Structure 1
Amino acid sequence: MATVTKKELIDRIAERTQAKRVSVKRIVQTFLDEIVRELCQDNRLEFRDFGVFETRTRASRVAQNPKTLERVEVPSKRTVKFKMGRLMRENLSRSSPESADAKPRV
């Protein structure tokens, strides 16, 4: 499994759209900042056919250190849940990692 960085995505978008890399970088970063800002306000983000981001709160619990068998209190924390949308689910179920170069249907 390969890792794709934000820089690589920006380069791809700039190449496909013939836009300047600097402006694409600013737009992508602004988009990501807005996602974080909305999730921090406990808002749900829905992108049709792509998916939904929403925050959840995990309850506090008592865990156990597997090495020492000592009980440890784990505080509650907020996490982000992502549920993929219809088109993403269809594209993922249709394609395999070998056919990653295939263009997804949008």
Structure 2
Amino acid sequence: MEVNIIDDILELYEVLVENGVIFFYGDESISIGEITEFNILNTEVLQIELDGSEKYEVSIEDFIEYYSKEGANYHTWPDIRKLDKKLGELSVIDN
């Protein structure tokens, strides 16, 4: 089940990026930047690259709280909702 959710999340992320959605991340310890690379390391941790340079490992829960999207439109909203739902599913695995 975990592998399917991870694959679904990565696929949705790629589809959204290809359709013009830009993802950003920023919290108290990490300045806001555009997510230029996105990898799921396990059911608890993501690795993101911001602005094509710095890589960070963040918890799934923190990612859900601190990421944002720009460039969404009528056609991308269904996939954005699916991505948010899948991220929520991933964050409760093993908890």
TM-score, structure 2 normalization: 0.30
TM-score, structure 1 normalization: 0.27
Flag the structure with higher strand content.
Answer: 2
Asked which structure has the greater CA Rg, the reply is 1
